[in-house]
Structure 1
């Protein structure tokens, strides 16, 4: 029902009630009150649906429904626009958060890479310092006073002072397998001699004439042999492990 028809019915009802009240008042001897000016004005301004020609009543109703539909559509469009704006705002906030997280992660990775590079550089420098210290502290064979005999611990102590620190364990491994640190060891079948089992033993004379009795001379020769042929005692040890000789 349109707004016009509702208002018309309301005014008509009010008029009817006023008329009935007047009749009842006359019958009971009461004075009839005049009709309210406002009610009369409303009745005068109101067009009843019944007053509209029958052929136009449908048009009036359709126009009213159309107006209602347009109002609802406008409200729906406004709500949809607000929803879209809110969704866009949320998406923008989400994108900004993801972008910041990615930037933070990238910065963290760069910081870790930088810290790793600095740590590796520092470790490399420390190794270089240690190697320089080892080289500067290495004693020559001639710096040891000759003795009539040497214990295993004495021979090992000499080797520690003559072989670079980072190569000593490899050197020791080879000597352990070849002679168990016996500087007078002789291989009965081959004639190999000394700590590093030089073959023939007199090769060690290039390091010193006392090669048969001085472990320092044998260590000097063995270290030179390993460096020349395998690059280092550890290179010689790697070859020994693969072949059981060097």
Structure 2
């Protein structure tokens, strides 16, 4: 039944009922013949019949479409959030890897620099040849050290010697027996650099430089340790 036929049927029915009610009311001559209740019933029938066919299906379809759209929006937002989180984690991992690589490269460069300095110092010490003297002034001893140790590490070497012996190549500790510029203990260890270790400051300097390089990597490494412990 279509919308038009239902409305027509309802109107026709209401008209018929109204007509019958009017006739009965005239015949009886009392209030029961009133047409008001009949007209109200007819109006209700018209309103009920006025609902279009298929409206509920359309509403349901629209609701499902909206739900699908909402789900799609939520899924897209979740995917974007997941992608952003993944990108953040990847960026953090890349940054960490770059930092570790840079630190490793810096450490390797530092080690290469230390080895180069040690090799240069060793070559310088090997080439250094000073004529033997009966005695040496502090200025002469420092000049020897400057030439043997080299400018890059000399200040650190000088800092240690200044505190150990005040540049006195004959300094001796009466209690421990430590001897010379770098206060070797036992003093006889300096014989590995030359038999004249007691009287030749150059021999003491060469031994002290080798000791600092072997044990601490450089005179500056030895000086750093000395500052923390007051011995080396």
Q: Normalising by the residue count of structure 1, what TM-score does the alignment of the two structures yield?
A: 0.58
8 A Cα contact 1:146 1:214, kept in partner: no
Q: Which residue of 2 aligns with 1:157?
A: 146
1:119: Cα distance to partner? Answer: 1.9
- Cα displacement (A) at 1:204: 2.6
Q: Counterpart in 2 of 1:238?
A: 225
User: Do residues 214 (structure 1) and 179 (structure 2) align?
Assistant: no
Aligned 1:7-18 pairs, distance under 5 A: none
- Which is worse superposed, 132-141 or 46-55? 46-55
**Deviation by residue 1:170-225 (Cα, 9 ceiling, x = unmatched):** 65543232123333434466554321123564543342122233323112333455
Q: Which residue number in structure 2 is paired with residue 105 of structure 1?
A: 88
Residues 189 and 106 of structure 1, relative CA distance in 2, 3 Å threshold: closer
Q: Does 1:146 align with 2:130?
A: yes
The number of equivalent residue pairs is: 203
Q: CA separation of 1:114/1:75 partners in 2, compared to 1, >3 Å: closer, same or farther?
A: same
CA RMSD of aligned residues (A): 4.5
Residue of structure 2 equivalent to 1:12: none
Gaps (5+ residues) in structure 1? 9-44
State the TM-score, normalized to the length of structure 2: 0.61
CA distance in 2, matches of 1:63, 1:172: 115
Distance verdict in 2 for CA 1:99–1:200, change over 3 Å: closer
- The counterpart of 1:126, out of the listed 105, 109, 113, is 109
What residue ranges of structure 2 are gaps of 5+ in the alignment? 21-36
1:68 aligns with 2:51: yes
- Assess if the C-alpha contact under 8 Å between 2:7 and 2:46 holds in 1: no
Contact 2:118 2:213 in 1 (8 A): no
- Pick closer, same or farther for the CA change 1:51–1:238 going to 2, 3 Å: same
| Equivalent of residue 49 in structure 1, options 2, 10, 14 | 14
Deviations 1:127-167 (A, max 9, x none): 343234223312354522225435264244145249xx7x8
Aligned mates of 2:201, 2:45 — CA distance in 1 = 121
Point out the structure with max Rg over C-alpha. Answer: 1
